[in-house]
Structure 1
């Protein structure tokens, strides 16, 4: 039985969930694909852990809890060069300008033919075309489900389910935190600040929620999707963007009275001037499908030339769902594994 060695970098909350799912699904991989998937390494910015025979769960769990210091030699580009895993799962913090450490890990892995599964968005936003070209050159696979709305299928929907079709319009509710805040303001009749506080108490919003509520998270996802599925060559600055932090209870009440529901929506459109993307606040009638997307739930709608219109609603917005999306990508890789 062939071994498939996996390393997880940026080993935080999502990385830990990915490690747990890998452990839970080992028998599935043996039975379905005839391979032994082994988590051989995990790495953070300063240290990591490695065992070429596979890390014991108690080792990476202790490392995740901070009870095991790790080895300074088990991190960085040289670590990947020495160990040459079959698959890299990159889950670290995102640097949307330079790509940061995630970019270094991904480029190192792809250059040596290691398949890459990206959960962190920074490197993909900064240079998806360059990473995709490198993967093509070396025959490696670059998968990005976890970075593009996680449990909600986006790129896979366009590349697999709609293969051969041309998508004219893609639009969606792509950021669970923003949707939770809007839903809370409308349905519980509370001000923005209270909705944010509730989201933070539930672990939905970060201590600084601006990235999500000012539209940046959606804009980043649009940039990746547009470049991966449309070949658009967009930069993050090309995406027109608005947020929801300015909204008031009075506005919500006025919309409620006329039967409108506000949603923060990202869209990609083919136009005569090329592919355009935007994040904007839209008002929908109550019977519109997007108006019925509540809480942290997300949605995507696609208009195609041959298959008509498709709508997908659902998908959890939490670390385990993001990890599961990454392992969906792993299964796609294993299907073609020699």
Structure 2
């Protein structure tokens, strides 16, 4: 049976869930792909652990200080890197160093954090193409929502004119709470934080930048664009009031934070902002922490995907879908 080794960069909520699912599915990978899948190294920002014979689940509760960084992790010569660290959409770190090093070494790479793809997506794609390493990014594009695969594979037989989406679960939850229960933004945010659905610092979500980052990755990796965040016109929900929502609802409209990319003649335009959605539009029915994507094409019409997911499990599962796609190619 062929042995495939894996390293995980980032052992936070998502990284640990990835490891948990890996251990649970080892029998499945052996049965379906004929591989013995071993997690040989994992690390966070300050601690890590490695074992050439394969780590066990409880090893992740006994990480050793100082064992971290690309030199440590990639020194174990994994076949596949799963990058699940924290994301910084301005610098791309810490994931960028891991990803670039892995691809240059020919290590197949699954990216979950968005930062590196936003900051250096073109360079990352070039590194993968040069080395021949397989690069997958499903975990960075709205978790369980069918998104990047829809663009890359399912719609290959047509030209895509636009993609638009409700891509941030936090803001969608806040707008739903404000619309349905007349809560103020502050009240809805406090509730979301108590439920663990919003970060203690929610600015990246509320100001629209998380939506922009996901949309940028979809456009660049799914449509072949070369956008940067500077190409986006971005407005968040921080200024919306209950009065504004009440007026919209009186007119039969529902407010949604929509990210949109359009292309015409090879020219791409991108934006994020609050839009009044007609109550009979399917996007108006995407409530709570649901996400949705609408793709308009020339030959296949309009395609819509909707997902309700539980993070970080859904994000981890999306990354492991990428793992199975890689196993299909290399096993």
Which category of TM-score, normalised to the shorter sequence, fits these structures? over 0.9
* Counterpart for residue 76 of structure 1: 69
Per-residue deviation, 1:254? 1.2
Alpha-carbon distance, 1:164 to partner: 3.2
Any unmatched runs of 5+ in structure 2?
none
Question: Structure 1 residues 279-288 or 91-100, which shifts more?
Answer: 91-100
Contact 1:80 1:108 in 2 (8 A): no
Instruction: Say whether residues 1:305 and 2:317 are aligned partners.
Output: no
Aligned counterparts, 1:129-278, within 5 A = 129-272=122-265, 274-278=267-271
Normalising by structure 1, we get a TM-score of 0.95
Pairing 1:49–2:43 present: no
Tell me which moved more, 273-282 or 128-137.
Answer: 273-282
| Residue 336 (1) aligns with residue 329 (2) | yes
CA distance in 1, matches of 2:266, 2:130: 30
Instruction: After superposition, give the CA deviation of every residue in 1:72-129 in whole Å (9 maximum; x if it has no partner).
Output: 2x32121244211011111111122221120000001000110111110110000111
Instruction: State how far apart, in whole Å, the 2-side matches of 1:303 and 1:126 are.
Output: 27
Match of 2:121 among 123, 128, 133: 128
1:273: how far off?
A: 6.7
CA distance in 1, matches of 2:77, 2:120: 23
Q: Which residue of 1 aligns with 2:100?
A: 107
Structure 1 residue 5: Cα displacement: 0.7
Gaps of 5+ in 1: 63-67
Q: Distance between the aligned counterparts of 2:106 and 2:124, measured in 1?
A: 12
TM-score normalised over the length of structure 2: 0.97
**Number of aligned residue pairs:** 331
Measure how far apart 1:315 and its partner are: 3.5
CA distance in 2, matches of 1:124, 1:264: 22
Matched, 1:7 2:2: no
Aligned counterpart for 2:317 among listed residues 301, 316, 324: 324
Alpha-carbon distance in 1 for matches of 2:84, 2:74: 18
Looking at structure 1, the residues matched to 74 and 241 of structure 2 have their Cα atoms a distance apart, in angstroms, of: 53
* Contact persistence 1:96–1:125 (CA under 8 A): yes
Equivalent in the alignment of 2:59: 59
CA distance in 1, matches of 2:210, 2:91: 17
Equivalent residue, structure 2, for 1:26: 26
SS at match of 2:255: strand
- 1:284 aligned to which of 250, 274, 277: 277
Aligned to 2:38: 38
State the Cα distance separating 1:54 from its structure 2 match.
0.9
| Separation of aligned partners in 2, 1:284 and 1:210 | 24
Distance in 1, matches of 2:150 and 2:316, equals: 18
Asked whether the 8 Å contact 2:40–2:76 carries over to 1, the reply is: no
SS at match of 1:255: helix
